[in-house]
């Protein structure tokens, strides 16, 4: 088993293409908003040396009458924070801002068991 003390630094560099970064951020955003990656559009830009992420797409909500249902603004604030943290953790990119534009809300329907 390798421990941090036994790691050896290897010369070289790691590059992540912009396409790979876009796909990764799209998948992260889709998971956090509860929709498929095909429904998400993202735009990346530079924010004074940090990555600025603009996400656009639908959000999936639990039924309005369900217990513990959080408000739409609260869900979006949480998604923004989670997207930023996940992108930093998974892709190693330093994210400055995350903007989320919701295009529509998809409400999960309760299913009845007969």
CATH class of the region 13-107: alpha beta
Ordered per-residue pLDDT tens for the chain, 114 residues: 556 666 777 888 777 788 999 999 999 999 999 999 999 999 999 999 999 999 999 999 877 656 666 788 888 999 999 999 999 999 888 999 999 999 999 887 766 666
pLDDT for the residue 8: 79
Cα gap 55→107, rounded to integer Å: 20
> Model's pTM, two decimal places?
0.79
């Amino acid at each position: 088993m390798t421990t941090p003390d036994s790691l050896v630094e290897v010369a070289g560099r790691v590059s992540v293409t912009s396409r790979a970064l876009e796909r990764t951020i799209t998948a992260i955003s889709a998971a956090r908003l509860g929709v498929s990656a095909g429904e998400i559009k993202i735009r990346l830009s530079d924010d004074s040396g940090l990555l600025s992420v603009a996400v656009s797409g639908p959000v999936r909500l639990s039924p309005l009458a369900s217990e513990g249902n959080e408000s739409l603004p609260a869900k979006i604030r949480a998604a923004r924070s989670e997207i930023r943290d996940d992108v930093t953790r998974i892709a190693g990119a330093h994210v400055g801002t995350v903007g989320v534009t919701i295009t529509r809300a998809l409400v999960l329907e309760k299913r009845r068991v007969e």
